[in-house]
Amino acid sequence: YEMVRGRAEAFDCDGLSSNSSNEEIADAVNVCLRFIGRYDNKLMKLQHVQLKCFDFKQQFKSYIYYMRTKLQARRFVADEPKKQVKTPWPRHKDKECIWKDEGLKRRVEEYLVSEVPYFRYCKACVGSENDVTRPDVVDAAEADVINVQV
């Protein structure tokens, strides 16, 4: 069993492999999904709403440059920095079965993209014109930040 994002739910690796049935993979994945119903494809059809996405691997790099051009600077600076909340279940990625089996990892991703609208949207969006971490968007955002600071 593996803890899921610091929660008591577990991704059950026992008996799972790239040869597992779709039902077995779905059962293991669905235990881990939480609040996934908050996203709906209807959001893409709302007038005056433009959905964007970002590559989570860039969240502390290029995403920050993009957001600096969109958000107003804080008026008040916190007295002391907030401390990171520690979960009672520390993560040990080297012991997580899904990273040890490329085929299983691929099958889980395929399941998520085919069955969960949020993951389908993310897969289609990252790298598209709506991805705010694309290099051309980041270059423009960096230039805006530099111009504002000068």
**Tens-digit pLDDT profile for residues 12-66:** 777 888 899 999 999 888 888 877 778 889 998 999 988 999 888 877 778 877 7
pLDDT of res. 136: 81
Q: Which of 69, 56, 60, 54 is nearest to 127 (CA)?
A: 54
4-8, 35-39, 105-109, 133-137: segment of lowest average pLDDT: 4-8
Q: What is the pTM of this model?
A: 0.71
Q: Which of 125, 136, 145 is nearest to 56 (CA)?
A: 125
More reliable by pLDDT, 42 or 93? 42
Chain centroid to CA 52: 13
Share of the chain above pLDDT 90, in %: 27
**Helices then strands (H, E): number in the chain?**
5, 2
Residue 104: exposure state from Cβ atoms within 10 A (0-12, 13-18, ≥19): buried
